[in-house]
Chain A
Amino acid sequence: MPRHSASMPSCAARVCALAFLALLASCAAVRQIRPLDLGEISLSGSLGGPFTNVGVTIPLPLLSVGGNVGLGQGLDVEAGVGLISALYGIMHVDAGVNWRPWLSRRIRPGLMVSPKLWLLTDFSPGSVRIYPDLGLTAFWKVGQFWYLYGGAQNWFEIHSARYDGQPQEYHWLPTVHAGASLGRKKWQFQLEGKLYVPNALNTNRPAANLGLGSHGAFGVFVGVSRFIVRRPP
């Protein structure tokens, strides 16, 4: 009697994980890599997510949009919303500032410090969650139009117990990123690779992520920004 080969089992079971990942993943969309200056305004969108096996391994298509408004020299305020989350009835917004202590000069990178708050709720009682996030990004200007950058976002889970009553194992959830940005006047394009939570095991969980061995999950995003108002360089 012919019998059967592979184990699809987990395929079926793991598709559900798409959903679970969507939220966390879209929390790390790509944005401006250097703060805007006073009076500048830009809008941005990004598409991408962690590589997940849903039969084949693909980056989840998570979409978010945001905007930045320059407040001062090398200081802007930023806000964004996760559109995929919104489609599923979850308000998933972030707001914060980006501060640039110095610009890149020769091989010394510029630095962007980005403290933020993320707010999530599905509007049911007790569902509001707020997560502080500290982003650090080093960037280099390469030529006239390119920026290369790398850094990390750092989410902090402030609750000591999870919603299911079990102890909260992870309080620091970093996402390491590196990418390139190409832009001239109004438009700017980005390609960014990420490694989500490299300090966390990716085994024995519903999702089948492509990670660094047994840890984390790789992801990829493309982003586009458009300056609505831009000061001359």
Chain B
Amino acid sequence: MSAWRRAPSGDRPQLVCTRLWLAAAALLSAGCLSLDPFLFSGVALSDYQLDAYTGEQECPAAIDSVRLMEVAALAPVVVDSCIHQFEIASGSGSIHAVLLSAQRLLSPTDTCILYFHGKGPHIDYYWDRTRMLHATGFPVMIVDYRGFGMSAGTATEATLSEDGHAALAFLRDSLGDPRITVYGYSMGSLVACDMAAHDADSQIVGLILEAPIGSIQTLVNEESYLDLPGSYFTTFTGDNAERIRSVSEPFLWMHGSSDEVLDREAQGLPIWRNYQGSSGYSIKVLGAGHTTVPQHLRYGAYVECVRAFCRGGAAQAFPQWVEPARGEWAGK
């Protein structure tokens, strides 16, 4: 400012322009902020409340509905002794996981659903969903990635992948090496698909993706309307539409026809089209949004479909449980 004041009046425009461009150049060269935290970040917790949690959840009232209306005949009510919490080493830190299972130690013939949750802040937020999956009768493990819930740290693409592998390794090495159906919801689809495509050491026997991200690049293009590179916005490069090509296990894709966050046709369909594995099933849930696939399919039907898929009987069960007014299923 002092230079401005000293400058002869005729030089002021030039000075101002020079300063403007210098400032712009400085900003560009110092452009070190990252948009990644906007994409993937959770909320830190000191402990999990699980059944005692009364905050907002991803699937409100689901377990009440399942328990009271439909599941009584399908699965035993969860009791506290079925809830096991673990801290698992992952990379340079650790992640927290909760296993819902009558037995703490599984056997290699058991099938466990490994649930990778979405962008919601922590396990409590997905507790109803976890409980609902347990109503299938299969053990369910849910993990908080680093940066979510009790898992300290920051989520990056590398840590998400590390955390997924750590959870698989823990099931394999410490919990009896069960058969695993990997379930990814929304953002968790990036981890689930990565695991199914690249983890050859575990007994992964199936992949379920609900409301998945097709790719980060598609997310960017859908949002901006323009042909912009994803690198403008994030260092994440996750591409489920490509990763799915490496998945050979049976695959179930569920997506709401009215998904307001991740459009079914733009995000999910490329994954489905590129799947080349042994057997694939899709359920288009009519009228369902991003979070309401189980609700629109009907909670009981949702539980039955997941159960049938995990048992390898999807083709027989889906015609019975997917009501034409609520969903359209297809196989390949």
Question: Is residue B229 within 8 Å, beta carbon to beta carbon, of the partner chain?
Answer: yes
Chain B residues, Cβ within 8 Å of A6: 56, 60
Residue of A1, A5, A155 touching B64 (CB-CB under 8 A)? A1
Q: Are A16 and B33 in contact (CB under 8 A)?
A: no
Chain B residues, Cβ within 8 Å of A20: 219-220, 223-224, 233
Chain A residues, Cβ within 8 Å of B8: none
Question: Is residue B20 within 8 Å, beta carbon to beta carbon, of the partner chain?
Answer: yes
Q: Are A161 and B231 in contact (CB under 8 A)?
A: no
Nearest B residue (CB) for A5: B60
Chain B residues, Cβ within 8 Å of A12: 119-121
Chain B nearest Cβ from A75, distance in angstroms: 18
CA distance A1 to B157 in the complex (A): 37
Chain A nearest Cβ from B43, distance in angstroms: 9
Task: State the main secondary structure of chain B at its contact with A.
Answer: loop
Question: Is residue A90 within 8 Å, beta carbon to beta carbon, of the partner chain?
Answer: yes
Question: Is residue A91 within 8 Å, beta carbon to beta carbon, of the partner chain?
Answer: yes
Q: Are A204 and B58 in contact (CB under 8 A)?
A: no
Chain A nearest Cβ from B31, distance in angstroms: 3
Question: Is residue A212 within 8 Å, beta carbon to beta carbon, of the partner chain?
Answer: no
CA distance A13 to B42 in the complex (A): 11
- CB 8 Å contact bits of A194-221 with B (1 = contact, 0 = none): 0001001001111100000000000000
Question: Is residue B70 within 8 Å, beta carbon to beta carbon, of the partner chain?
Answer: no
A4-59 CB contacts (< 8 Å) to partner B: 4-10, 12-21, 23-24, 41, 43
6 other contacts beyond A10-B260, A89-B28, A161-B227, with CB at 8 A cut-off? A4-B54, A21-B223, A43-B20, A65-B20, A205-B260, A205-B261
**The 7 residue pairs across chains A and B that have the minimum distance between CB atoms:** A89-B31, A20-B223, A19-B35, A86-B27, A204-B263, A164-B217, A159-B227
Residues of A that sit less than 8 Å from B by CB: 1-10, 12-21, 23-24, 41, 43, 65, 67, 81, 83, 86-91, 120, 122, 124, 126-127, 129, 131, 155, 157, 159, 161-164, 166, 168-170, 173, 197, 200, 203-207, 228-229
Residues of B that sit less than 8 Å from A by CB: 12-13, 16-17, 20, 24, 27-28, 30-35, 38-39, 51, 54-58, 60-61, 63-64, 118-121, 128, 186-187, 214-215, 217-234, 258-264, 266, 270, 290-291
| 10 A-B pairs with C-beta separation under 8 A | A3-B128, A6-B60, A13-B118, A13-B187, A65-B20, A87-B27, A162-B218, A170-B225, A204-B264, A204-B266
